[in-house]
Amino acid sequence: MGWLSMPLSSMFPHTGPKAYLDAQFTYDNRDADGKGKALRVIASSCLRNKVWYAAVVPSTDGTDEPAFAAVCLVSWNPRAKDGFVFAYKDSAPLWR
């Protein structure tokens, strides 16, 4: 896959790559009975704003599944002349 680039305004309300990617990999689509899917980042780090690493736990119908690692390459340049200060690219899955 290619790079997804955006201006700072598209990251709102997040002010940096780590917070933005943590939010992108966290969701909860469960109904009132707890049925459905959810995903949550339990730990993450964005080393020098170059690579974001995270431990992520999926959940189905309220039952946690095994955690997996998520890795994204990051490009962060707050002074970008074209205004696109942030870009990321997710890694290809290691399994087939």
For residue range 33-80, list pLDDT tens digits in order: 989 999 999 999 999 999 999 999 999 998 999 999 999 999 999 999
Q: Determine the pLDDT at residue 93.
A: 59
Per the CB < 8 A criterion, the answer to whether 87 and 75 are in contact is: yes
Q: What is the pLDDT of residues 1-35, one digit of tens each?
A: 689 999 999 999 998 999 999 999 999 999 999 89
At 42, the amino acid letter reads: I
The alpha-helical segments, DSSP class H, found in the chain are 17-24
Give the integer Cα–Cα distance in Å for 90 and 54: 12
Per the CB < 8 A criterion, the answer to whether 17 and 76 are in contact is: yes
Domain ranges in the chain are 4-90
Reported as a pLDDT band with limits 50, 70 and 90, residue 96 is very low
Q: Please return the burial class of 53, using the count of CB atoms within 10 Å of its CB with bins 0-12, 13-18 and 19+.
A: middle
Task: State the pTM of this model.
Answer: 0.87
